[in-house]
Amino acid sequence: MADATYRPDQVVTKIYEAPTRYTISILPADHPHRYHHQIHVVQHVITGDKWTVEHMGHWADRDGNWEPGLYGGADRFFPLDEALAIARRLAPTVSANGERTALDVLNLPREGRR
């Protein structure tokens, strides 16, 4: 087996980049509650070209049902375009701790956004 250790005299001739995670939310990036009301579409190495729709450790199925990620079956792995569509559909309804949805938070008066 060849030595895989990097040496300073080696020249890197090619760098590979690929998006492996998308963040979906109806809240703007600077919103103080965005972290709790965003969904991630994540590529999984074990499935190759399959992606999951995730929120706070839970994975969504096609119908928008959330279950802990460890218990997600094959019905929770999707092609990228389908995973993004599911995440966009669920984005307004995602909640933190079962309380306000992202849409509720978006519609709060400015003073209620603390």
Helix (H, G, I), strand (E, B) or coil at 22: strand
**pLDDT at 43 exceeding the cut of 80:** yes
Domain contains 50: yes
DSSP β-bridge partners for residue 95: 101
**Residue 84, amino acid:** L
Element (H, E) at 100: none
Domain contains 12: no
| Least confident residue range of 16-25, 69-78, 82-91, 94-103 | 69-78
Domain contains 13: no
Question: Domain containing 89: what range?
Answer: 21-113
Domain contains 96: yes
Task: Give the mean pLDDT of the chain.
Answer: 87
Domain contains 69: yes
Helix (H, G, I), strand (E, B) or coil at 34: helix
**pTM of the shown model:** 0.81
Cα gap 7→12, rounded to integer Å: 10
Domain contains 84: yes
